[in-house]
Structure 1
Amino acid sequence: DVPGVLNADPKWFDETEKIEELSYHDAIELTYYGANVIHPKTIKPIQNKGIPLYVRSFLAPKEIGTVITNTKTPLPVASFIFKVNQVLISIFPKDFSFIIEENLSHIFSILHKNKVKVNTMLNSAISFSVSVDLDEEKLTQLIEDLSATFKVKYNKGLELVTIRYYNQQTIDRVTVNKDVLLEVKSRHTCQIVMKDKSLSQ
C-alpha cells in the first residue's frame, strides 16, 4: 500500500520522498536497520542474479515505484528509520577494568542465550552499551544474567533513529527537543538513541 520505497515512514515523518532507484547494498542496509517495506531475505537472491526488484503499490500497480538494482549511485536523500520502545543497556566490569575481547564475547553469548537482538552498540574503554527492543520478560532475565558478572545500568522509554546518508542538518532535524543518550556514526550511517526532554525532567 505504498507508492515505492520512501525515505521515511509517514507515521513518523510529515514530509517523505519516494526513492526512484535504490542499490542492492542500500536496500540491504535499510532492511537491516529496520525498514519494513522489503523483507531482508528478498534482496540477496536477486542481487546474486542481478535481477531488478520493483516495489510498487498494490493500489496503483501501473505507477512507477522504486527499482532496486546494482546501481552504484548513493541515495539522493537521507533515509530515516525509527524504532520506539528501546532500552539502552550499559555494561561495566565490576572491577573497573577495561572492556576486553573476553568481556565482549561473554556479553554476546548472554545476549544470544536470551534471544535479544542488538539494534546498535558502542564500545568504550570501560563500558559497552547496546540498544534493544523492549521485551519486559527478556529484559528481566537479560539484566539478571549480565549482573552476575558485570555492573549494569539501563534506561527504558527511548527512541532509536537510524539515518542513512546523514549530515548535520538531518541530525538536528530528528533531535529537536530530545536528549541524546548515545550516538554512533560511520561513513554513511548515523544511529542516535534519544529520549524526549519532557520525559527527562
Structure 2
Amino acid sequence: MKVVVAEDQLLTREGLVHVLRQAGLDVVGEATDAAGLLALVATEHPDAAVVDIRMPPTHTDEGLVAAARIRREYPSTAVLIVSQHLDTGFVLRLLAEGGGGVGYLLKDRILDRAALLDSVRRIVSGECVVDPFIVARLLGRERRRDPLDALSEREREVLEQIAEGFTNAEIARRLFITERTVEVHSKQIFSKLRLDDTTVTNRRVMAVLTYLRAAT
C-alpha cells in the first residue's frame, strides 16, 4: 500500500512515517504544505494520503482544502485527515463531498499505532471513518432540534456505529446482534431520516451527516 504524509511539524511527521513503515506500508513521499501534498499525489498516485488539517502558510484549513481537491481529482486516493482539535464543521465539510475513502482522526489517536493503521486500511477499502471520540462527544450534547428523535435506542446505537465507519458485520459483532438485524435497523434509520433510496454507501454517508448536524 502506497501512502503519502502531509504534516509540517517535523517530529509528528517523522513519527507518522515511522509507524506506517514499521507496519509494512510504503511511504512514497512527505510534504510540509498543501502544494507539496498535491504534487506528490499527482506524481505518485498513492493509495492513501494522511493529511494535517492546518498547514502553511495560514495554518487554518489548507489541509482540508487540499483533501477536498484530492477527492475530486484523484478519487482512487483515500484521505485521512488528522486534526489537533475537535471541529465538527471540518467533519461536515469533508463528509459532505459524499462517498467513502475518507477519515477524520484527532491527533491524539494517531499515537495509537493500531488505531492509525486500522483507519488507513479502512479508508483505502472504501470506508468512511470518524474518530470515536468525536462521536462520543456528539452523543453527550443536548440537542434542541433533533432529527434523530424518531429513532429507537437500538437504532441510535447502530447509527453511532455507522458514524464511526464500521461495516454491518463489525456492528453486529460489537452490538452482539446478527448482521441481518443490523441491515433491518439500517433500513429503518434510512427510512425514518427520509434519505433517498440511492446507493447504500451514499445513504450511510448521509445518515452520518444527519447525525453530526444534529449535534452541532
Could you state the TM-score of these two structures normalised by the residue count of structure 2? 0.27
Higher strand share: 1
Higher helix share: 2
Bigger Cα Rg:
1
Q: Which has the higher contact order (CA 8 A, sep 6+)?
A: 1
Could you state the TM-score of these two structures normalised by the residue count of structure 1? 0.28
